[in-house]
Amino acid sequence: MGIQLVARIVGAAAADDERLRELVARNERNPTWELFWGSPGTMLAAREAGLDEEWRRSASILVEEWDCGGGIWTQHIRGTSRQMLGVAHGFVGSVHALRGYLDDEELRLRIEPVLREHAVADGPLVN
């Protein structure tokens, strides 16, 4: 996906929008649900490439999975299932991929309970 996206951006002869569409569709239900291997990463590439229909379809599936997961996605990576909060393999990256699909107010309403549950407070400071 990344190579095809870069080829498209720089105008290389190897750029192939149909191949990009195929790769986004193939990854839309990847059970990692994170930026590196899962659909959120291919969603960002699809959006950058102007493949709006593919981006929206993947975003719809990601929201559906979010709703089923109790507020946070479970990543299934290399035989391990975990819920992670970080950008690359976790909650933050998946939420980022949904920016522009869900409006900011809905994202805030969905994010706040997760942040409150997982935040570590030390006096007036919070991680």
Contact predicate 15/8, CB 8 Å: yes
Give dist(CA 18, CA 126) in Å, integer. 45
Give dist(CA 122, CA 46) in Å, integer. 40
Which of 3, 42, 40, 50 has its CA nearest to residue 23?
A: 42
What is the percent of the chain where pLDDT is above 70?
100
Rounded to a whole number of angstroms, the distance between the first and last alpha carbons of the chain is 33
Task: State the pLDDT at residue 2.
Answer: 84
The secondary structure element, H or E, covering residue 125 is strand 125-126
Global pTM value: 0.89
Taking residues 114-119, report their average pLDDT. Answer: 91
Tell me the per-residue pLDDT of 62-112, one tens digit each, with 9 for 90 and over.
Answer: 999 999 988 899 999 889 999 999 899 899 999 999 999 999 999 999 999
Which of 52, 51, 64, 53 has its CA nearest to residue 94?
A: 64
Contact predicate 8/17, CB 8 Å: yes
Name 125's bridge partners: 122
